[in-house]
DNA sequence: GCCCAGGATCACC
DNA sequence: GGTGATCCTGGG
């Protein structure tokens, strides 16, 4: 069992990205020498629900209360609008741009993971605002991508701060107190169904002082336990919040897709606790990134087989 | 009209 | 501690 660790020696290559250059032109940030940045793999893997591909290679969405357009042409990635200050303060961290994903799990000797890694090349873990991530993944429970996106869009339109960019109106994700002030009925009208009271109560608790940011300083186990005290947050949703917004790269969301991978390719089946223990042992402290590669690979594989659109 | 997918919760063992 | 029914709704 111990030999499991050896294929992952090269994880030490996971570190600061040295070869990327950033320049600022035409109101945007241009990233060059960035081999690991594939917008489709970043935005279409179920970690965020607010970006859409508006034309080939062009993604638009709202994050941190701002509009952002991400364009990939060849090896040139543009973030727009984005000045030097905004890059430093917002997007560099959002896209985890100081991290080198290239070496992670490289030649790991794990066939499924190697496949996922090649297939999902350019995938990055976002660092999203915790409250938005929390509510989004409460909505995601027992739900599919298309519906989740619609529900979140309507919630933002209902009580998020509106702003205009290039003549179009967009909506920031609402603050906790704004969301807590909505009635359960209004939340249901957004399409959230039986999750409406969970959303309202969770928003109320966050507005009332539940310290999401403070979870960063805690251990994985403690942070997860605390998150699960919020209504609508079970083990899987808690792991998503930890992985996608609070920097816990060892969090391993045990959804149906990853369970399928573990069964088909690792011959493993178990409850959520056992899944996490297996993942931590097998993939180490970046298990969450392995989860993303495997998830993305399996989902597209199944999608192509059966034309499914669930997350 | 019927059935299914998807995760959290609750009652029950 | 584990199991199974229930919640909601778009889509087949």
User: A19 — phi, psi (to 5°)?
Assistant: -100, 5
Burial of A201 (0-12, 13-18, 19+ CB in 10 A): middle
Which nucleotide is nearest to A141 if distance is taken from CA to C1'?
B7
Q: Which nucleotides of B are covered by protein (CB under 7 A)?
A: 5-9
What pLDDT band is residue A204 in, cutting at 50, 70 and 90? very high
A191 touches strand C (CB under 7 A): yes
DSSP string over A267-293: -----HHHHHHHHHHHHGGGHHHHHHH
Nucleotides of C under 7 A from a protein CB: 1-3, 7-12
Distance, in Å, from the CA atom of A135 to the CA atom of A244, rounded to the nearest integer, reads 12
Identify the H or E element spanning A63. strand A58-63
A225 touches strand C (CB under 7 A): no
Average pLDDT for residues A282-297, to the nearest whole number?
92
Instruction: Name the protein residue, with chain letter, whose CA is nearest the C1' of C10.
Output: A147
> What's the mean pLDDT when you consider all of chain A?
88
Q: Give the tokens for residue A26.
A: 């035409």
Q: Which of A236, A281, A285, A308 is catalytic?
A: A236
Rounded, the Å distance between the CA of A142 and C1' of C5 is: 15
User: Å between A300 CA and C10 C1'?
Assistant: 20
Distance A144 CA to C12 C1' (A): 15
Let me know: does A158 contact A182? Beta carbons within 8 Å. Answer: yes
Q: CA–C1' span, A113 to C2, in Å? A: 31
pLDDT the model gives residue A264: 87
More confident residue, A3 or A63: A63
Give the Cα separation of A248 and A97 in Å (integer). 16
Verify if strand C has an atom below 7 Å from the CB of A306: no
pLDDT of A304 reads: 61
Residue A7 has pLDDT above 70, yes or no: no
Tell whether the model's pLDDT for residue A9 goes beyond 90: no
Q: Is A236 a catalytic residue?
A: yes
Say what the pLDDT of residue A74 is. 85
Q: What per-residue confidence (pLDDT) applies to A98?
A: 87
For A136-157, write each residue's pLDDT tens digit: 999 999 998 889 999 999 999 9
Mean pLDDT of A261-281: 89
A147 CA → C3 C1’, Å: 29
Confidence of residue A14 (pLDDT cuts 50, 70, 90): low
- DSSP tally for chain A: helices H, then strands E: 14, 8
pTM: 0.91
Nearest to A239 by CA among A125, A76, A157: A125
Of A224, A246, A247, residue with least CA distance to A236? A224
């Amino acid at each position: 069992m111990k030999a499991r660790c050896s294929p992952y020696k090269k994880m030490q290559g996971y570190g600061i990205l040295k070869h990327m250059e950033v320049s600022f032109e035409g109101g945007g940030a241009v990233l060059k020498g960035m081999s690991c940045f594939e917008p489709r793999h970043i935005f279409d893997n179920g970690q965020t629900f607010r970006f859409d591909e508006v034309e080939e290679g062009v993604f638009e969405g709202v994050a941190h209360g701002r509009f952002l357009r991400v364009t990939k042409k060849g090896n040139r990635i543009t973030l727009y609008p984005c000045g030097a200050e905004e890059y430093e303060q917002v997007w560099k961290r959002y896209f985890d741009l100081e991290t080198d994903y290239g070496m992670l799990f490289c030649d790991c000797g794990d066939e499924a993971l190697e496949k996922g890694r090649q297939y999902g090349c350019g995938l990055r873990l976002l660092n999203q605002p915790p409250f938005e991530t929390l509510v989004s993944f409460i909505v995601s429970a027992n739900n599919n991508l298309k519906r989740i996106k619609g529900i979140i869009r309507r919630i933002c339109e209902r009580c998020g701060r509106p702003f205009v960019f290039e003549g179009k109106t967009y909506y920031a994700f609402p603050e906790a107190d704004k969301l807590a002030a909505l009635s359960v009925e209004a939340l249901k009208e957004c399409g959230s169904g039986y999750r409406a009271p969970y959303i309202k109560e969770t928003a109320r608790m966050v507005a009332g002082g539940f310290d999401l940011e403070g979870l960063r300083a805690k251990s994985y186990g403690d942070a997860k336990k605390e998150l699960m005290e919020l209504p609508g947050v079970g083990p899987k949703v808690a792991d998503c919040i930890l992985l996608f917004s609070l920097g816990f790269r060892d969090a391993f969301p045990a959804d149906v897709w990853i369970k399928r991978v573990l069964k088909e390719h690792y011959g493993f089946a178990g409850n959520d606790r056992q899944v996490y223990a297996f993942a931590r042992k097998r993939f180490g402290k970046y298990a969450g990134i392995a989860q993303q590669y495997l998830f993305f690979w399996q989902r597209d594989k199944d999608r192509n087989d059966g034309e499914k659109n669930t997350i």
